[in-house]
Amino acid sequence: MRFGNIVVAVDGSEVSEGALDHAVYLAVDGHASLTGIFVVDSKWPDFIGNDWQSARGARQGFLDYVRWEQEEQAQLARAQFSLATHGMDRAVFTVHAGDPASVLLAQSANADVLIASRRVFQISGRPSLKSLAATLSKKASCPLMLFP
Amino acid sequence: MSSGSPGFFRQLPSALPGLVLIVVTMMIIRIWIEPWMAHTKIFGMSKPLTDAFHLNYILLGIMSGMFYRNVIFGGRIPEMLVDGFRLSRLMIKTGIILLGSLYTFSAIIKLGVTAIALISAFVVLTVLLVLWLGKAFGLDRSMTAVLANALSICGVSAAVATSPAVEAKASHVAYAIATILGFGVLTMFISPFIGRELGLSSMQYGAWIGTGILNTGQVLASALAYDPMVGPGTALAVAEVWNVMRVIAIPFAVFAVTLWYWAGKDAVDSHGNKQSLGSLLVEKFPVFVIGFMAMVFLTSLGAFGDVGVESGHSPSAAIMSLRVTMQWIFGFGLVGLGGFIDFDELRQAGGAPFRLGLLVGATKYIVALLIVLLLRQYFV
């Protein structure tokens, strides 16, 4: 089976290596375009919404710190994607902000296949991201390949 | 990643839809549902919802918020409503400031001495226990430092304040927060039952939950769930003195744990600014505590008339209207706070932070109860 437009979720950790390698293999084999996606999780303010008494400086300091950590992770993801797609013409890496499930679903809406690890984005994410793969399985509008 | 709090008045128009939902929910609960529960018969039992399940407007309010988020809205508050739900934080802070009108300085010193002794002992012992268990569970130093403060002082706020200073990974902090919230939700519902079964007085109950419940939002809710009245000597009045003592401890505990963390580090990290106690106080000291103390000061001067404790007279009209206002404000605020409890996040918490958090949280909860029972003659 050949695909013309492949989307892969990349988080810069070894977890996403298997999915990325397979996406590159499919893209080279089918002369397809390959889009790597990293999502900066924007749900953190909501996640700590139950905390009513933190000083504003403490709350914002924490959110800035989380943002900084995720931006560093995005750089690792970019480097991981660049290394894996070295020499490929039609490979693009993009960084988005939002809820990881919603972003991946929206960005893969017109793709021929979405490829991801079951544990992708857990490295910098909230506990509910454990169910990211299950959400993608239920809601993806294109074929989905999940890796361990 | 902004916290989305540009100031009350600028935020108000976008907050209106969420505020309307919160206000209408609480009005329905207080005007129709509570009176209905107080008179209804189910399966031949008279008033089972209030007598057997101890439901009141506070628990119903939190449950409504959780229901909105997790059932009606499918796990997230809609954008249109989220600003209104966020304002619940401001409401609760305002309620706590007004709560200062329950105390005069002499009353707060009387309560505060016991609170400081109990809180200090529990903070120090919990920190030491977590540092020891953190090693036993094989957690890294940053995770241990976050858990030490979160489990010893006031849950999520302490985790938020400590994490950047000790370079904790966000995913680890998330699991710690989910554990604390999950444990807090459980204790918030079971504590009133336990308190009633043991026949605890308001003072004993307030001292217990003020010490034993991890997250201070849930201390507030649990106190009001036990006794929905707002006034001197109620569970709320006692628990909140404990609460304020814990909040004041945040910057100092962050400073101490940060020193411990950096003392064990070989290299200085690029973000490793060891903050001074002064800068931590400026950045992390919650301003509402000053408002609360200002209110105590004004009350002590008699600015609102007779408080109705030491004189034996009825409270003044101003004090009475402040107490009614507080009941409504806490009711609104806790509907909003319930809207930020996400079952999906709590359900998926796990790992070593979860196990350690549960162990320490349960130990603290039980030991605090045992101490209050042991010293119950001092808590009257």
Is-contact A36 A91, C-beta < 8 A? yes
Identity (one letter) of the amino acid at B230?
Answer: V
For B199-255, write each residue's pLDDT tens digit: 999 989 999 999 999 887 888 889 998 988 888 888 988 888 888 888 888 888 888
Residues of A in Cβ contact (< 8 Å) with B250: 58
Distance between A15 CA and the closest CA of chain B, angstroms: 15
* Residues B27-39, mean pLDDT to the nearest whole number: 90
Percent of chain B with pLDDT over 90: 28
Q: Residue A33: how many CB atoms within 10 A of its CB?
A: 18
% of chain A at pLDDT higher than 90: 75
Give yes or no for B274 touching A (CB within 8 A): no
Contact B341 A59 (CB under 8 A): no
CA distance A105 to chain B (A): 17
pLDDT category of residue B171 using cuts at 50, 70 and 90? confident
Residue bearing the bigger pLDDT, A24 or B278: A24
Instruction: Report the range of poorest mean pLDDT among B45-59, B199-213, B330-344, B345-359.
Output: B45-59
Distance CA B20, CA A55 (A): 26
- Does any CB of chain A come closer than 8 Å to the CB of residue B285? yes
**Could you tell me which residue, B283 or B95, shows the higher pLDDT?**
B95
Question: How many CB pairs (< 8 A) connect A and B?
Answer: 136
| Residues of chain B positioned with their CB less than 8 A from the CB of A40 | 1
- Indicate if the pLDDT at residue B168 is higher than 90: no
Mean pLDDT of B152-181: 84
Q: Is the pLDDT of residue B307 over 80?
A: no
Q: A51: which chain B residues are within 8 Å (Cβ-Cβ)?
A: 89, 155-157, 160, 217
Comparing B184 with B310, which gets the higher pLDDT? B184
A130 touches chain B (CB under 8 A): yes
Which residue out of B171, B255, B285 would a mutagenesis test of the A interface target, given it has the greatest number of A Cβ atoms within 10 Å?
B171
Identify the pLDDT of residue B270: 43
Of B157, B171, B284, the CB nearest to A124: B171
Q: Residue B187 pLDDT more than 60? A: yes
Q: Which of B77, B178, B287 sits opposite A127 (nearest CB)?
A: B178
What's residue B267's pLDDT? 45
B299 touching chain A per CB within 8 A: no
Task: Give backbone dihedrals phi and psi of B307, rounded to 5 degrees, phi first.
Answer: -75, -25
Average pLDDT, integer, range B148-159 = 86
> Both ends of chain B: CA-CA distance in Å?
47
Q: A79-112: b or e for each residue (b if 16 or more CB lie within 10 Å)?
A: ebbeebbeebeebebebbeebbbbbbbebbeebb
B88 and chain A: CB distance < 8 Å anywhere?
yes
Whether A64 and chain B come into contact, CB under 8 Å, resolves to: yes
Cβ–Cβ contact B344 with A under 8 A: yes
| Least Cα separation, residue B43 to chain A (angstroms) | 37
Q: Which of B86-90, B179-183, B271-275 has the lowest mean pLDDT?
A: B271-275
Is A47's Cβ below 8 Å from some Cβ in B? yes
Predicted local confidence at residue A21, as pLDDT: 96
Domain locations along chain B: 89-378
Nearest CA in chain B to A97: B1
Residue A127 neighbours by CB under 8 Å, 6+ apart? B174, B175, B178, B344, B345, B346, B347, B348, B349, B350
Position B269 confidence tier, pLDDT thresholds 50, 70, 90: very low
What's the pLDDT at B266? 54
Which residue from A minimizes the CA distance to B7?
A56
Nearest residue on chain A to B282, alpha-carbon basis:
A57
Looking at residue B283, its pLDDT comes to 75
pLDDT band at B177 (very low <50, low <70, confident <90, very high): confident
Contact B283 A61 (CB under 8 A): yes
Angle between helices B202-212 and B351-374 (to 10 degrees): 150
Q: Which of B1, B177, B216 sits opposite A63 (nearest CB)?
A: B1
- A121: closest CA of chain B, how far (Å): 10
Which of A42, A50, A66 faces B170 most closely, judged by CB atoms?
A66
Q: Residue A31, by phi and psi: left (phi above 0), alpha (psi -120 to 50) or beta?
A: left
Judged by CB atoms closer than 8 Å, whether chains meet at A69 and B85 is answered as no
Domains and CATH numbers, chain A: 5-147 (3.40.50.620)
Those residues whose C-beta lies under 8 Å from the C-beta of residue B128, and which sit 6 or more positions away, are none
Is the CB of A73 inside 8 Å of chain B's CB atoms?
A: no
Query: What's the gap in Å between the CA of A48 and the closest CA on chain B?
Result: 8
- Residue B125 CA from chain centroid, whole number: 20
| CB within 8 Å: A62 and B345 | no
Chain A CA closest to residue B161 = A58
CB B185 within 8 A of CB B217: no
pLDDT value of residue B268: 46
What DSSP designation does B377 have?
G
Task: Considering only residues B362 and B217, tell me which one the structure prediction assigns the higher pLDDT.
Answer: B362
From chain A, the residues in CB contact with B333 under 8 A are 52
B309-318 confidence digits (pLDDT tens) = 665 677 788 8
The region of weakest confidence among B22-31, B156-165, B311-320 is: B311-320
Report the distance separating Cα B69 and Cα B87, nearest Å.
16
